[in-house]
């Protein structure tokens, strides 16, 4: 199953996870320092729904943002 919304085309995006170490300045330290920066993916919240399309019922993979904004009519 492809991780893409059938309505808006929302898909996985790539970002980073920054790991910091040290004691914060406001707690009396010399500040937080970056130790590691690793890649990670952000996945959309996709749901399998039965939707009315053209008078018939079709199974679609839709993100929750499209379901909340009534871009798809559930069957």
Q: Quick one: tokens of 68?
A: 């909340």
Q: What is the pTM of this model?
A: 0.75
Query: How far is the C-alpha of 27 from the C-alpha of 42, rounded, in Å?
Result: 32
State pLDDT tens for residues 5-32. Answer: 999 999 999 999 999 999 999 999 999 9
Residue 75 three-state SS = coil
Domain spans of the chain, in order of start? 13-68
What average pLDDT is seen over the chain? 95
């Amino acid at each position: 199953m492809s991780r893409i919304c059938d309505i808006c085309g929302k898909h996985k995006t790539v970002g980073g996870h920054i790991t910091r170490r040290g004691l914060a300045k406001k707690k009396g330290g010399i500040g937080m320092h970056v130790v590691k920066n690793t890649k990670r993916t952000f996945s959309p919240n996709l749901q399998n729904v039965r939707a009315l399309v053209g008078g018939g019922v079709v199974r679609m993979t839709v993100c929750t943002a499209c379901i909340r904004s009534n871009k798809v009519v559930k069957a």
